[in-house]
Structure 1
Amino acid sequence: MSNINLIIEERPRNIGNFMVGRLLPFQGKRMVGPFIFIDHMGPARLSDHQNMDVPPHPHIGLSTLTYLFEGNIMHKDSLGTEIEIKPGQVNWMTAGSGIVHSERTPEYLRHSEKILHGLQIWVALPKELEEMEPSFFHAAEEDLPHWKSEGLSYKLVAGSFAGKESPVPVYSPLYFLEIKSTSAQKVSIGSELYGEAGLYILEGSVEGEGNTFGPKQLLVAKNSQLCEFEMAENTTVYIFGGEPLPEDRLIYWNFVATDHEHIENAKMKWQEQSFVPVPGETEFVPLPQESPNLKLK
């Protein structure tokens, strides 16, 4: 990738059942466009007695994007949504003024061996939409724009790119693009990008500026308009970014906001358990005394 401004390595974080690789936020780069949080989950191999069980927890001020490569997650939220996320599908949950959800291994898989592998992403909402009504959107894999060009396969997971638009209802100009190669190919897409851009390497390798980069690395461009790189054969990358939001964002645990008041109100509301609950769920994740997201090393 040409004009590299920053190289971010995945940093291990324990989120309970398994380790994840944290990409954003980073001490030297808190956001890329409106993208404020990215975890690479797995690949985690779970035995017949191990399951993903994340009890109900709240969010404000953001949209979550869950995109799986392997495995299955049952999503339930305080809107009454109950849906299984499968590989290649998109779960887009907009918290706005507040939403609660749980993430668990589906019942029919809880007594079998399984793999969980994917990305969990937060996209900050524009300031004027921080308090919008919460909502949920699910896109099947076949609903996402996908095409082939010059030996490469493209899929537009969210946002807009090259005149194409994902059905996922985003709230600011952004893109989240998958590119796969079967043979070595040069990629030059800078003219179609806008705002800030990051390139995450899932598998294979990328060459740029005389250097080779591999899996678990995130490359942040100095100028998205100059985005050029060489993909090795059997490589998968994700290019994401968009127009940066004009205000800084605060993060405390699962809360994102432009001011401390929104954060403190959400903390108090969760401690009092006055968020709308997830139907049928009685457990909940307690408010941490210190936000793990504040540790950006």
Structure 2
Amino acid sequence: MSEESKIVQVLAPKTADIGGMLVRRLFPVVGRKHIGPWVFLDEMGPVRFEPGQGLNVKPHPHIGLATVTYLFAGEILHRDSLGTVQAIRPGDINLMVAGRGIVHSERERAEVTEQQHDLHGLQLWLALPEAEEACDPAFFHIAASDIPQFDVNGVKLRLIMGEAYGHRSPVPLYSETLYFEAFLAGGQRLELPATQERGVYVCSGELHVEEQTVTAHNLVVLAEGTVCLQAQADTHIVVLGGKYLGTRHMNWNFVSSSRERISQAREDWKAGRFPAVPGDDEFIPLPE
């Protein structure tokens, strides 16, 4: 890349088959631990489950982060140790703030699993500011109808979190955060808002960024400054960004600025000291 290039790096996914579902991990990986406050991005699917099959993630713990679940297709039933029971559907936002500790499961309703069905979406983790890492856990559900939708020079956008293009999302924020999806027809261009750090994930299609072509399921990390994207074909992208919050350590489902806090969380889960999910006594054991 030239010295003036805004492209910092392009990340290809690491793929795994988990329970019959293809999962693509973009980061964290060696050489890329964050994009702004974001510390984790997985794409789930797309997958078509046969009757009797589906997503079935048993209760497991988190600390020091906020999880964001965003679906393109299908439905997930979220349950947590706060007593929340919430189905998430395409376009909805589930923001689960772990803080000092929360436990949740991700399954599907019987009405969903008894028939053939699709599932496709993103799982993301946000680091919390150090002052909020041990906050009380919380859960927010924002319906798809409440997410701002608008056009920018003909490009269709959904502003999921943060502020951009004169609009603001109602999703609560704990630090400067940007997250939106855009749908570009072939040949359309989109200038990105300036944030400290930005990444563009190509869900489908193909983008031209400066002198480089970025294909589906790759993520381009961009430096601050004006960057214009151009779609080579009909293209669906997700843009992530915001303020970097400093070094975070990650171990299993735990994120913290303190290694000692993570060690304590591991011991607490192993000893059964986390709160339970009401009505669900299953759990994922601590990986050793």
Same fold flag (TM > 0.5) = yes
Aligned AA (1:212): T
User: Which residue is 1:234 aligned to?
Assistant: 234
User: In 2, distance between residues paired with 1:155 and 1:27?
Assistant: 31
The CA distance in 2 between the partners of 1:226 and 1:117, in whole Å, is 31
Contact in 1 for aligned 2:162/2:171 (Cα 8 Å): yes
For residues 143 and 115 of structure 1, the distance between their equivalents in structure 2, rounded to whole angstroms, comes to 24
SS of alignment partner, residue 109 of structure 1: helix
Which residue of 51, 66, 76 corresponds with 1:63? 66
* TM superposition shift of 1:249: 0.5
The Cα of 1:162 is off from its aligned counterpart by: 2.9
The two structures, once aligned, show a CA RMSD in angstroms of 1.2
Residues 96-117 of structure 1, C-alpha deviations (whole Å, 9 max, x = no match): 0000000001121111111110
Q: Which runs of 5+ in 1 are unaligned?
A: 290-297
Q: TM-score, normalised by structure 2?
A: 0.95
Give the alignment of 1:14-53 within 5 angstroms: 14-53=17-56
Is the 2:67–2:95 contact (alpha carbons within 8 Å) kept by the matching residues of 1?
yes
Q: Is the 8 A contact 2:64 2:255 kept in 1?
A: yes
Q: Take 1:135 and 1:229, find their aligned partners in 2: how far apart are those partners?
A: 36
The C-alpha deviation readout for 1:102-157, integer Å capped at 9, x for no partner, is 00011211111111100000000001100000000011111111101212001111
- For residues 265 and 44 of structure 2, what CA distance do their matches in structure 1 show? 26
The number of residue pairs the alignment matches comes to 284
CA contact (8 A) 1:181 1:232 kept: no
Aligned amino acid, residue 43 of structure 2: H
Match of 1:280 in 2: 279
Q: CA deviation at 1:26?
A: 1.5
Deviations 1:29-88 (A, max 9, x none): 100000000000000111112111000000000000000000100000000000100011
Task: Specify the alignment match of 1:158 in structure 2.
Answer: 161
Question: Structure 1 runs of 4+ off > 6 angstroms?
Answer: none
Contact 2:158 2:182 in 1 (8 A): yes
Which sections of structure 2, spanning at least 5 residues, go unmatched?
Answer: none
One-letter identity of the residue aligned with 1:285: I
State how far apart, in whole Å, the 1-side matches of 2:137 and 2:16 are. Answer: 28
| Partners of 1:165 and 1:256 in 2: CA distance | 27
Contact 1:59 1:95 in 2 (8 A): yes
CA distance in 1, matches of 2:232, 2:184: 7
Equivalence for 2:207: 206
Q: Displacement, 1:159?
A: 1.6
Which amino acid in structure 1 is aligned with residue 88 of structure 2? I
Identity %: 39
- In the TM superposition, what are the counterparts of 1:76-225 in structure 2 within 5 Å? 76-189=79-192, 192-221=193-222, 223-225=223-225
